Structure 1
């Protein structure tokens, strides 16, 4: 793979991985442990934070896809990039809208049981993180 394209894609991949680690696996669970943070307040903060994260992820995904496409990549790089793009699309197009509808109901005052949708999102985040690390390592080895 072209060295410049590989370096750009690797940098974007590892920045993306760091953002997912920081927000999804650190900030999100910790905010609910802070004194005075109620479920509605935490959900409101989470919606804003994840909207910003998802915008940044989309931009980084575009950078990765363009750099990989421009760099004559090996098949493994193409497969990892495609899997990552599909996973992000599923999160943004299927899972996040469902979570947003549920959080709308909670913010409107409904008392709902724990959400299985959040578990799905966490599993997808873990899979995304694994794909990001695999892609980053693959790009560095190219």
Structure 2
């Protein structure tokens, strides 16, 4: 396995682990903690997801560089590129709507629920699948 392949495998599974830990463990669990209100949970979530998304962008860029520099199976490349596209869709299409609602709630306004939250979760689920499959395909060589 080349250096680019090794780095790509590591990045893929670190990225997958971060999404699983933050989106599917931290995000829902924090609202079960005593005295965590919607405002507090959203405030924490906004900060955590902002950092997660920055780290995801860095990982996606490094992964893209690895894909350009190394030799990979076409299927692995395709799955990993889909993960990058899903991340961009979240950041460019969904996060702005979620940020507007979060800002309104944090300002004390009665903001209606948003379908953007379901879209973000759907994209996270898809990202988990494509990262997992892409990582396995990388390991399979």
Fold shared by both chains (TM-score > 0.5) = yes
Give the drift of 1:81.
Answer: 2.1
Unpaired runs of at least 5, structure 2? none
Q: Residue 65 of structure 1 aligns with which residue?
A: 64
Normalised TM-score (structure 1): 0.94
Q: Residue 84 of structure 1 aligns with which residue?
A: 83
Normalised TM-score (structure 2): 0.95
Task: Figure out how many residues of one structure are paired with residues of the other and give that number.
Answer: 141
Larger relative contact order (CA 8 Å, sep ≥ 6): 1
Unpaired runs of at least 5, structure 1? none
**Alpha-carbon displacement from aligned partner over 1:116-135 (angstroms, at most 9, x marks no partner):** 21111111000000011011
Does the 8 Å CA contact 1:14/1:133 hold for their aligned counterparts? yes
The Cα RMSD (Å) is 1.1
Q: Residue 132 of structure 2 aligns with which residue?
A: 133
Q: Residue 37 of structure 1 aligns with which residue?
A: 36
**Alpha-carbon displacement from aligned partner over 1:67-101 (angstroms, at most 9, x marks no partner):** 11111222212211221111110101110111001
